[in-house]
Chains A and B, each alone.
Chain A
Amino acid sequence: MAKVPKPNELVFDYNVPQKWWMDTKPEFKPGTWCYPGKAKNLEVLGLPNPREWSPLDEDWKLPSNWKEIIFEGMRDCLNKYRSLRVFMDICVRCGACSDKCHFYIGSGDPKNMPVLRAELLRSVYRKDFTLAGKIMGRIAGARELNEEVIKEWFYYFFQCTECRRCSLFCPYGIDQAEITIIGRELLNLLGVNIDWVVGPAANCYLNGNHLGIQPHAFKDMIEFFVEEIEAVNGVRIEPTFNRKGAEVLFITPSGDVFADPGTYTLMGYLMLFHEIGLDYTWSTYASEGGNFGLFTNNDTLKKLNAKMYAEAERLGVKYIIGGECGHMWRVIQQYMDTMNGPADFLEVPKSPITGTVFDNAKSTKMIHIVEFTADLIRNGKLKLDPSRNDHLRVTYHDSCNTSRGMGFFDEPRYVIENVCNNFWDMPPNCIREQTFCCGSGSGLNTDEFMEMRMRGGLPRANAVKYVHDKHDVNMLSTICAIDRAVLTPLMNYWVPGVDVTGVHEMVGNAIVMEGEGERTTDLRGNPLEGMEDLSDEDL
C-alpha cells in the first residue's frame, strides 16, 4: 500500500499541462487508483471477463473484440438514457463546473474538472456517433478509441464520487455522476472495475450485506450492542430478526453494524425504537442499506436493491424505515420504486406513535429514520436531555446523495438542534445543496486510494476547520455510513481534534429512557459534561 504524504507534503498545482489533454496520459501513481476487481467477485455477480489483472500492466487482458463491445454498449446506452444523449451534445464548455469538483480542487489535475472528465467520453462519442467527428477528427473534438482511452476512463471514472456538485452549477444540468455511472457501465462490459466495489457487491449478493456478515453473526453483533447499551444506562433492549408480521422492517447500512463510529449510531436506533415501542424487525437477508451496485452497473444495482422489497413482502411488514446512509437514499429515492416496484403489498407509511402519514413516500413506502425521528420530536413524543451532548460542539456534513438527490436539509438539522445544545453550520458555500463530498464516495473508500481521498476530502475538511477554529467544534455529524467511516481519517489528517458521529448517536445520548439509570458516559464511554471527575470506583 502507498505511503500517504503528510498534509504539508502535498503539492497543489493548478497550472495546466503544456500538452493538450488528448496528448496526456494518466500516471498510475500509488494512492491515486484502486485495486482491480477480483475474478471470483465478478463471477458471483455474473459480470463479464473475470480475470486477474493490474492497472500497472501494459496488457489489461481485454476481450479480443473489446472495441466492438464498447461501441455496442455506447449505442445501447444512448438508446436507453436520454441523459446521455443530451449531455453528450449540449455542453458549451463554459467551465462553470470546473472548480466545483473536490477532486479537481484536491488534485489540480485538469481531467478532474467535470467538463473534461465528460469530454473523455464525449470525444469517443463524437468520433463514432457524429458526422463532424467522423470527418474532422480532432478539430471537432473527436478522437479514436484505443486501449489508452480505456485506461484513462478507468483512472478518471474512478476518481469521481458521483456527488453531483457539478450538476448543481451546470446551466444545463449536465450531471457528471450520470456520465460516470454510464462510463462505469461501459467499463464493466470489459471487466474493468475495482475490487472495493465489486467485492462488497458480491458479498451483498450472497450474504445480504457488503461486509459478508452471515446471519448468525449479524444477530450476534447487534446483540453485542444491546449489552453495550445496558452498560451505559441499564436498559435491556430486545431486538428481533427476520420476524414475520412486524409492522416495520428496518434496514441500515451494514457499516453501522461493523465499524466505529457507525456502531454508536446503530445503538441510537436500537434505543429509539425500544423507547417508543416500535413493532419492527431487522432482517439478515436484507441486512444492507447501501448498494455498491450503483457503482457497478444498472443490473447489479437492481439485483442488490431487489432484496429490500422482496424481504418486506416475505415478512409481511407494512412499510420500511431506512437508516442513515447517503447513496442508499439516492437509490431509494430515485431508483428503487422504478426498478423493483411497485410495492403494492406495502402500506403508505404512518407513524404508529404520532399518526403522521408520510405522503411524501406514498409510492416507495420507505421513510428515512431522520424524518421519522423529526416527526416524533415535533410531536413531543420523545423525552430528550440535550445536555447529555454538552461535551460535543457539533457541526453537520450534508451527504451528497441526500442533498442533491433528495433535498434532505432541514430534517437532520431539526433533530440535531433538539438533541444537542452546541451546533454551528459550516459556511454557506460548503453545506446543503452546495455541500462538498467526503472524497471517498461511490466505492472509493479504500485504503490504497488514500492520497486521493485526502486530497478530494480537503474542501470538506477545510470547511470543518473553519468552524473548528472559530467555534471550537469537535464533532462532525452526518447521516451517511460511508461518511462515518471515511471522515474519521480525513479529520485526523486535516483537522485533528474533530471526531465523527451519526445523528442518531446523539439521539441515543439524549433520549431519556424509561427505567434507565443515571448516565455518566455517552454511548462511546466518554464522560458526560460534569462527570469527568468521577473515577471508575464511583460508578
Chain B
Amino acid sequence: MGIKFSLLSVIALMAAVFVGVKVAGLHYFFGVVVPYAALATFLVGFIYRILLWARSPVPYNITTTAGQQQSLPWVKQNKLDNPTTTAGTIGRMALEVLFFRSLFRNTKYEYHEGPKLRYQWEKWLWIFGLLFHYSFLVIFLRHLRFFTEPVPGFVHRLEGLDGMLQVGLPGIYITNLIFIAAVTFLFLRRVVIPQVRYISLPADYFPLFLLFFLGLTGILMRYFSKVDVVKVKELALGIVTFNPVVPSGIGVLFYMHFFLLCVLLAYFPFSKLMHLGGIFLSPTRNMPNDSRMRRHVNPWNYPVKVHTYEEYEDDFREKMIEAGLPVEKESK
C-alpha cells in the first residue's frame, strides 16, 4: 500500500523546490533556512526519541540466546551469540551493527507437495542491506569535502579508493552505482514478493524513493548537469561555520538534492529510520545472558498477593496428616 502516494510525495517535494527556486527565487529559504531547520529537527528529534526509549526501564533480562550458553567448564560456550560478559555483549552488538549478524542467518522457506518443507540460506537481503548501508556511509563521508576546509586526508583517500575504476570523466564512484542498485533492489523486493508487499506501508516506500532521488539528483549533478562545486562548497561551509551565504548561480538541481537531504534528516526521528538508534537499545541483543549468575533488578517490581504455604496447609491439613505428609501446625 502507498507506493503511488510515496512516489508522488517525493516528486511533489522536488517540484516545490523547482517552483520555489526557479519561480519564486527562494534561494535563501532552501539554501539556509530549511537546512538549519532540518538539522535542528534531526538533532532534537533523535535525542528526544533516544531519551524517550531510555526512560523506560528494562524490567527483565530477555536476551535472545543464539548459541550455547556458559555452563559446565567442559561445555564450549558460544561467546558471541550467547555472551555472558560485557566484552562478549559488545562483540555481539558489533557483529549486529557492523555486519547484520541476525540477518545473515536469514532463511527462505519453501513448500513442496507432501507436504515437504525446505529452508534455504537467503543471503540477498543481507548482502544488499549491507551494500546499501555501507555505500551510503562512504557517500556521506565523501561529502565531507564540501563541509570541511582543509579537507581531511581520509576523505581524499576515500575518494581515491571509491573512484579507482577511473571510468569516464569525472570518474565514476563505485558507491554511487552500488547505492542506486541497492535501493532499487530493496524497492523491487518490496514490490515483487507478495508477502513483503502486503506488510509494506507508505512509511516503507517513502524513504526508499527519497533515497533514490537523493542519489539520482546527486549523480545527475556530477555527470550531466554540472554544478559549480566551488559555489556549493561556499554555501556548505557557510552553513557549518554559522556564516550562511547564498552564492548566486547554483543550479536548481543542487537545491533539489539538498532539500531531499533535509527532508531525510527532518523525517528521520519520526520514522522507522530510527532503527539506527534503536538497535543499540534492543534488550534482546544488548544484554549478556547472565541472569542466573547476576540478579537483574526491575525498578518497578512490586509485591503481589500470593497463596502462602500457611493458607495452603489450612486448605489441606487433614488430608495431609492422613497421607502422612508433615505439617507446620496440627490444627488451625
Contact = CB atoms under 8 A, between A and B. Distances in A.
Contacts of A338: 59-61, 291, 295-298, 301
The 7 closest A-B pairs by CB, nearest first: A407-B69, A90-B278, A216-B323, A407-B65, A173-B284, A99-B109, A173-B285
Interface in B267-321: 270, 272, 274-275, 278-279, 281-285, 289, 291-298, 300-301, 304-309, 312-313, 315-316, 319-320
Nearest to A462: B117
Interface string B48-83: 010011111111111111111111101110100110
Interface string A435-474: 0000000000000000000000011001100000000000
A207 B285 CA distance: 38
B65 A433 contact: yes
Contacts of B96: 171, 173
B332 interface: no
Interface in A328-366: 332-335, 337-339, 341-342, 356, 359-364, 366
B291 A334 contact: yes
Contacts of B319: 214-216
Q: How large is the interface on B (under 10, 10 to 19, 20 to 34, 35 or more residues)?
A: 35 or more
Interface string B37-50: 00000000000010
A140 B5 CA distance: 11
Interface residues of A, number: 113
B107 interface: yes
Interface in A71-88: 78-87
Interface stretch (B150-158, B199-207, B240-248): B199-207
Given A93-B201, A168-B102, A303-B307, 12 more contacts: A14-B195, A83-B62, A83-B282, A86-B283, A89-B49, A89-B272, A98-B196, A174-B284, A339-B298, A406-B289, A407-B65, A411-B72
Contact of B289 (A205, A284, A407): A407
A80 B298 CA distance: 9
Interface of B: 1-2, 5, 49, 52-72, 74-76, 78, 81-82, 96, 100, 102-103, 105-109, 111, 115-117, 119, 125, 129, 193-204, 270, 272, 274-275, 278-279, 281-285, 289, 291-298, 300-301, 304-309, 312-313, 315-316, 319-320, 322-326
B326 A105 contact: no
A94 B122 CA distance: 13
B111 A139 contact: no
A429 B270 contact: no
B59 A132 contact: no
A93 to B, nearest CB: 5
A69 interface: no
Interface string A88-105: 011111111011100001
A25 B115 CA distance: 28
24 contacts: A16-B195, A79-B56, A82-B56, A83-B58, A90-B275, A92-B204, A96-B103, A98-B195, A99-B195, A105-B109, A168-B64, A173-B279, A205-B307, A208-B312, A214-B319, A215-B323, A302-B304, A310-B309, A339-B298, A362-B292, A378-B74, A407-B67, A407-B82, A429-B107
Given A139-B5, A314-B309, A173 B102 contact: yes
A410 B76 contact: yes
A306 B306 contact: yes
Contacts of A404: 64-66
A128 to B, nearest CB: 15
A484 interface: no
Contacts of B279: 90, 171-173
Nearest to A293: B304
Nearest to B200: A93
A361 B293 contact: yes
Interface string A113-141: 10110010000000000111000000111
Nearest to A177: B62
Given A85-B56, A285-B309, A363-B295, A95 B193 contact: yes
Interface string A155-197: 0000000001001111111110010000000000000000000
A67 interface: no
Contact of A459 (B59, B70, B117, B306): B117
Nearest to A363: B295
- The listed residue with most B CB atoms (<10 A of its CB), out of A99, A116, A463, is A99
Nearest to B55: A79
The dominant DSSP class at the A interface is helix
A20 B295 CA distance: 45
A92 B275 contact: yes
A429 B282 contact: no
The dominant DSSP class at the B interface is loop
Contact of B315 (A100, A206, A410): A206
A31 to B, nearest CB: 18
Nearest to A361: B292
A288 B306 CA distance: 15
A476 B43 CA distance: 55
A14 B196 CA distance: 12
B72 A82 contact: no
Interface stretch (A240-248, A496-504, A507-515): A240-248
A433 B284 CA distance: 14
A12 B115 contact: yes
A375 interface: yes
A211 interface: no
Contacts of A174: 282, 284
Nearest to B73: A356
Given A14-B111, A171-B100, A334-B62, A85 B52 contact: yes
Contact of A407 (B2, B78, B325): B78
A80 B326 contact: no
A272 to B, nearest CB: 17
Given A95-B195, A116-B199, A80 B295 contact: no
B292 A363 contact: yes
A378 B279 CA distance: 40
A403 interface: yes
B71 A360 contact: yes
Contacts of A15: 194
A14 B75 CA distance: 41
B292 A360 contact: yes
A408 interface: yes
A493 interface: no
Contacts of B66: 168, 404, 407, 433
A98 B102 CA distance: 14
A359 B309 contact: no
Contacts of B281: 82, 86
A138 B304 CA distance: 40
B13 to A, nearest CB: 15
A89 B195 CA distance: 21
A306 B63 CA distance: 22
Interface string A53-83: 0000000000000000000000000111111
Given A115-B199, A205-B307, A94 B65 contact: no
